[in-house]
Structure 1
Amino acid sequence: MARAVLLNKGRYRARLAETTADLDAACRLRTRAFDTAQLDQDRFDDLCAHVLIEDRRAEDQLVCCFRLLTMQNGAEIGAGYSAQFYDLSALHSFEGRMVEMGRFCVHPGKTDPDILRVAWGAMTAYVDQNGIEMLFGCSSFAGTETAQYLDAFAMLKHRHLAPKRWLPRIKAPDVFRFATRLRRKPDAKKAMQRMPPLLRTYLMMGGWVSDHAVVDRHLNTLHVFTGLEIGAIPATRKRLLRTVVG
């Protein structure tokens, strides 16, 4: 397919990065979105496929990007980015193909909800093309202070914790153990208002999270491990995703 295009939808095109210039553009967008002092890049970039969402009506401006690391099964999960922060030994027995999604970001000046829809459409196309059975990664809350997110974390505790057979264990030195510390009943409206859009989408499709959040002071975020078993996505959600792809 020309230029490794995954999806054309409306004004947006989703494609795989093919050149060093493509990767450089993604790293620059990540740097701007994450507001880091240095260029956002690491050793995992060379191992991943990078998805670029471009605005065809604005001279192919890059408006969103993320990267994908494909694994044959759970035995390879220790080689991914998330394994630096979480003990993922419970997932070693997962037998299907997996993909770790990371560094997801949208241009700070763009608020069009179609960008997120196209990004998920591109992810769906990639999952279909590569026979992926589990999608996972780290979902981030901005900043490292927990107070503003307590309803969101309470909601995660009450409704969205990982099945015990897959539950990640603590590995990072600085974590917020919301599943054991929070006793509050979540305010659903406040919880969803404070939930990051990417995580909200994971949850709507049946995704689940770790029972603790990692405090990542390097990226100035709180993040939770997030998993989504493709076979568990509700049929209505699958149809919506296929509509975007189609």
Structure 2
Amino acid sequence: MIRLKKGAYTAREAANASDIQESQELRARCFGLAADTDDYDDRCTHILIHRVSDDVLVCCFRLMPLTGSTITRSYSAQYYELSALAAFDGKMVEMGRFCIDPAAIDPDILRVAWGAMTAYVDANGIELLFGCSSFAGTETSDYLDAFAMLKARHLAPSHWLPRVKAPKVFNYAARLRRKPDAKKAMLRMPPLLRTYLMMGGWVSDHAVVDDKMNTLHVFTGVEIGSIPPARKRLLRVIAG
């Protein structure tokens, strides 16, 4: 059972249906939806991060344990052809529906979230963490430097590369011919994706245009064994 307290925040696993409903309500507000529930919720462990001072939920995400043979059951498999990862020999977990209350502007929230994730990964022997990293909106022109940076430095190894499955995608690796402006790229990179990349994460060569969620998202993976040692130590200090 994941439970930790760091500074002004606590992180814990959902203990009952009302906890899950609370996370669904935060997700709906963050994603601009009337409601945000699906069948995947029943298969996941839900992590909730509350502010200690008033017990307000400020962040949540869900975790679905998988293996290569079951990766087609993941949320991401709706949008990406993941047969290459079926050969991955190790435990996986999909992180999804990650959101932070827009009114809660504090970088420590993301740090505590990754601390909780690290505790889960260590407790369960996870070797691959993956999910969909989302850019707000569906206008690709807003993120060309970010996508050019992903193409130049962060594409998945060819043996794990997800293939196109969704009907509407932006094939940025094939289409972009620009040298990225590093400063602009990092300014437009979503915070969650920046953290993945700092851990040595890699991404798909295309972005899915998700009109329902009003996002562009890329498949993102982190092989736990490849995380830089200094980053691992920092995460485990937070998780401890």
**Is 1:164 aligned to residue 158 of structure 2?**
yes
- Cα offset, 1:243, TM superposition: 1.4
**Distance of 1:83 and 1:233 partners within structure 2:** 24
> Which residue of the partner structure matches residue 9 of structure 1?
6
- Cα offset, 1:5, TM superposition: 4.2
> Which residue of the partner structure matches residue 44 of structure 2?
48
SS at match of 1:27: helix
**Distance of 1:7 and 1:91 partners within structure 2:** 32
1:52·1:62 contact (CA, 8 Å) conserved in 2? yes
2:148·2:178 contact (CA, 8 Å) conserved in 1? yes
Q: 2:63 aligns with which of 62, 68, 81?
A: 68
Normalization by structure 2: what TM-score?
0.99
SS at match of 1:44: helix
1:32·1:108 contact (CA, 8 Å) conserved in 2? no
Extract unaligned runs of 5+ from structure 1: none
Extract unaligned runs of 5+ from structure 2: none
> Which residue of the partner structure matches residue 199 of structure 2?
205
**Distance of 2:95 and 2:43 partners within structure 1:** 12
1:90·1:166 contact (CA, 8 Å) conserved in 2? yes
- Mapping 1:184-199, distance limit 5 Å: 184-199=178-193
Runs of 4 or more above 2 Å deviation = none
- Mapping 1:97-112, distance limit 5 Å: 97-112=91-106
**Distance of 2:21 and 2:44 partners within structure 1:** 14
Q: Count residues with an aligned counterpart.
A: 240
Normalization by structure 1: what TM-score?
0.96
**Is 1:28 aligned to residue 22 of structure 2?**
no
**Distance of 1:44 and 1:66 partners within structure 2:** 12
- Cα deviation per residue 1:185-239 (whole Å; 9 max; x = unaligned)? 0000000000000000000000000000000000000000000000000001001
Q: Percentage identity across aligned positions?
A: 68
